[in-house]
Chain A
Amino acid sequence: QMQLQESGPGLVKPSQTLSLTCTVSGGSMSSGGYYWTWIRQHPGKGLEWIGYIYYSGNTFYNPSFESRVTISVDTSKNQFSLKLNSVTAADTAVYYCALRVVKAMTTGYFYGMDVWGQGTTVTVSS
């Protein structure tokens, strides 16, 4: 059973870099069809996709973040990471790592976020 766990500072100063790590257990990060994903949720609000990375290193980012975000993967450590530069108070949120899995069906390939970490709260404040 795949499990994900976020870790990183809970408080980041404005203009600095938010850095989070997601540790994966219970499975291989190098399996095809797995996209390692970051999503955030502002307090009391909806969900916002930040981006994901394939095990090969190919990345896909939300254009809303593209100039500030880097997602990387280290399969040897069973971890993937999020870096978000130049943070402001608007980046205060719960950050989730998740596993997007491809599902092969007779009608095509579909994707769902099958596994989620518990989430970690990041506050941007001086």
Chain B
Amino acid sequence: DIQMTQSPSSLSASVGDRVTITCRASQSISNFLNWYQQRPGKAPKLLIYAASSLQSGVPSRFSGSGSGTDFSLTISSLQPEDFATYYCQQSYSTPLTFGGGTKVEIK
């Protein structure tokens, strides 16, 4: 199985801050990497697919980059509705696997 490791596991930030979350795969997954946002008590929501493609309807302040084993999700200017937990997920091979999550909290 491909292990996905996210860092940090949590962070505190203020509205307007630029935030970057990283995700590392245990082997190369090319750019078969997705990012999801999960608000408390809600289902996850797809933000980014193919490492850097923005899902329809997702604000442009979200961006993704990376290839191979190292990836990042950046929120350019954090908004109140962005306080949530973020997960990366590899779609390179089954079993599909997720990172452990990064909780973005209000400072």
| A interface residues with partner B (beta carbon < 8 Å) | 46-49, 60, 62-64, 96, 98, 103, 105, 107, 110-114, 116-119
Contact = CB atoms under 8 A, between A and B. Distances in A.
The CB with the most chain A CB atoms within 10 A, among B32, B45, B46, B97, is that of B46
Contacts of A96: 43-44
Contact of A112 (B46, B99, B100, B101): B46
A63 B95 contact: yes
Given A48-B98, A113-B44, A103 B50 contact: yes
Interface in B25-48: 31-32, 34, 36, 42-46
Interface of B: 31-32, 34, 36, 42-46, 49-50, 53, 55, 87, 89, 91, 94-101
Looking at chain B's contact residues, the main secondary structure is loop
A116 B44 contact: yes
Given A105-B50, A105-B53, A112 B95 contact: no
A119 B87 CA distance: 17
A98 B91 CA distance: 14
A35 B96 CA distance: 13
A116 B45 contact: yes
Contacts of B44: 47, 96, 113, 116
Contacts of A60: 94
18 contacts: A46-B87, A46-B98, A46-B99, A46-B100, A47-B44, A47-B101, A49-B95, A63-B95, A96-B43, A103-B53, A110-B31, A110-B32, A110-B53, A110-B91, A111-B49, A112-B34, A116-B43, A118-B43
Contacts of B99: 46
Contacts of A116: 43-45
Contacts of A118: 42-43
B49 A112 contact: yes
Contacts of B91: 110-112
A64 B1 CA distance: 10
B50 A49 contact: no
